[in-house]
Chains A and B, each alone.
Chain A
Amino acid sequence: MQRLGDDRLIAYLDGELETAQRREVEAWLDADPAARQQLAALADSTHLLRLAYDEVLHEALPDRLIAAARGETIEAQAPARILPFKGRAGARTVTSNRWWIALPAAASLFGLVVGGGAVYLGIAKLLPDNVAGKRPAVEAAAANGAWLDNAAGYFKLFVNAGDNPALDVAATGDPREALQKISQTLPQEGRLPELNLKPWGLSFRGAKLVVAEGRPAAELVYTTDNKAIGPLTLIIGSSKLPNISPTFDRRQDVNLLYWRHEGRAYALVGQAEIGYLWGIANDVAWQLDAI
């Protein structure tokens, strides 16, 4: 058996050979243990190489690069006031000692949850005729306002609940099972595809049924040991409103990145730095083909 070169072995590993060349290499591998060993070593170093750079994909995108990509200039302002991430144990103390704060907050949230849909559905009737032309924009803004406040509120409830968040479906075993269960409670168009945020160090804890834009939606709940990211929620619901690009907002001291695409509304909610939210939103969009 003719000994082929390393470049041929590498091209074989990269899937770059024609059928005839591939068979030739396979015959060589069958006959030559040293070639097999070399192939294994090459595969090993390839694997390591990918690992070595993959972590870059899960870093926060610097503001200056987002600005550069959009052809914008950056003017310095006061530094961000990102809330320090509360550890879950600390959060539990807050809940137990300040129940008198948590109670009205929860009550008002309940009002928003129940009322959000009504506000969205009923607002058109309340508008005077002379703003009829602007109605869709006003409706969209009102709907955004209500459901983003809700999204921030849901997130705070989850953080304040500490280690025992009230979930409709807990991800105790297979996360896919939990996703499937919550998905079944949603309208057909809102069914959830599989989503993996493990590369960000985020663990899926479970899901909750919430309201987004006046319609049932799933709130997926994630936790992480990475304090720069902190816990996150991702709300996915169906929407009949037009597509919008990912847009940053801040409600109740919580960062939100929300967007709508092809009949779905999304909101990524947390106390993470905005650069992380961009990165995670990019990943979510890619995985769900949402953008």
Chain B
Amino acid sequence: MSFRHGLAGSPVRLVSSRDPASIRFGDQLIAVLPRLRRFARGLAGSVSDADDLVQAACERALARQHQFQEGTRFDSWMFRIVQTIWIDLVRSRDVRKEEGDMPEERLGSDEPVRRVEARLALAEVRRAVDLLPPDQRTALLLVTVEGLSYKEAAEVVQVPVGTIMSRLARARMALQAQLEAGRGVGRSRTDAEAR
């Protein structure tokens, strides 16, 4: 799909001179952008960091488009690029603390404001995801949110299926514990569905 907009009235002007193959590749990329943004949002947490991540992934994918094998899943290939860039960032910035080293307030203790709005219930889930170690978070997002099979997720992360399975199990149990400690899954769900 080629979003070849003339952009009259748009704040940007796009400057490009590309061959048809690159245009087709770009079309594929645009089609998966919403899912890449969702995956990146789960990994990076903030909107701007996530979009920076997706932008970097797009640039890398375009530079390496010859490496993509036709007939394989394009979305998985892109998830892998996003995940690789993010892991590099995490390692270079050392933003994550050791597993289990969680801030006190995240352990379900006093929250200053009562969360009564549905949106906040979902924000609570996202915060619980933010607390997971990077490898668990990646497995959780790929399988549970993006719907990849264990095998596909293992290929994205390049680890054995058993590793994905154990990371996923730890992530799911930790997430559940966080939610239950914070407010109770049942209540969170009710709030969220009231949106």
Interface residues of A (CB under 8 A from B): 5-7, 10-11, 14, 16, 41-42, 44-57, 59, 61-82, 245-250, 255, 257, 259, 274, 278-279, 281-282, 285-286, 291
Contacts and interface: CB of A to CB of B under 8 A. Distances in A.
B4 A247 contact: yes
B9 A250 contact: yes
B114 interface: no
Interface stretch (B35-43, B69-77, B87-95, B96-104): B35-43
Interface string B1-19: 1111111111111111010
Contacts of A64: 12, 51, 55
A114 B166 CA distance: 65
Given A56-B41, A65-B51, A69-B26, 15 more contacts: A6-B173, A53-B145, A59-B37, A61-B33, A64-B51, A65-B37, A70-B18, A74-B13, A74-B14, A77-B12, A247-B5, A248-B8, A250-B8, A281-B3, A282-B33
Contacts of A291: 1, 31
Given A16-B150, A44-B189, A65 B31 contact: no
- Chain B's interface size range is 35 or more
A47 B179 CA distance: 13
B179 A285 contact: no
Contacts of A49: 125, 129, 140, 144-145, 175
Contact of A7 (B10, B126, B166): B166
A250 B11 CA distance: 13
Interface of B: 1-16, 18, 22-23, 26-27, 29-31, 33-35, 37-38, 41-42, 51, 54-55, 58-59, 62, 121-123, 125-126, 129, 140-141, 143-145, 149-150, 165-166, 168-169, 172-173, 175-176, 179-180, 185-186, 188-189, 192-193, 195
Contacts of B16: 70-73
Nearest to A38: B176
Contacts of B12: 63-64, 67, 74-77
Given A70-B23, A282-B31, A10 B168 contact: yes
A70 B4 CA distance: 9
B51 A248 contact: no
Contacts of A57: 34-35, 37-38
Contact of B4 (A16, A71, A78, A245): A245
A80 to B, nearest CB: 5
B126 A71 contact: no
Nearest to B63: A71
Contacts of B144: 14, 46, 49-50
Nearest to A251: B8
A51 B125 CA distance: 9
Interface centre among B37, B123, B140, B168, by most chain A C-beta atoms within 10 angstroms, is: B37
Count chain B CB atoms within 10 A of each CB in A11, A41, A56 and give the residue with the most.
A56
A245 B27 CA distance: 9
Given A45-B176, A46-B144, A246 B2 contact: yes
Given A50-B145, A248-B3, A67 B166 contact: no
Q: Name B's interface SS.
A: helix
Contacts of A63: 10-12
B7 A68 contact: no
10 contacts: A45-B185, A49-B140, A53-B141, A57-B35, A64-B12, A66-B3, A71-B16, A71-B62, A81-B9, A291-B1
A45 B185 CA distance: 7
Given A45-B179, A64-B55, A255-B9, A245 B166 contact: no
A71 B10 contact: no
A76 B55 CA distance: 18
Contact of A245 (B3, B8, B59, B150): B3
A81 to B, nearest CB: 6
Contacts of B7: 248, 274
Given A65-B54, A75-B12, A48 B188 contact: yes
A10 B169 contact: yes
Contact of B5 (A50, A54, A248): A248
A258 to B, nearest CB: 10
B112 to A, nearest CB: 21
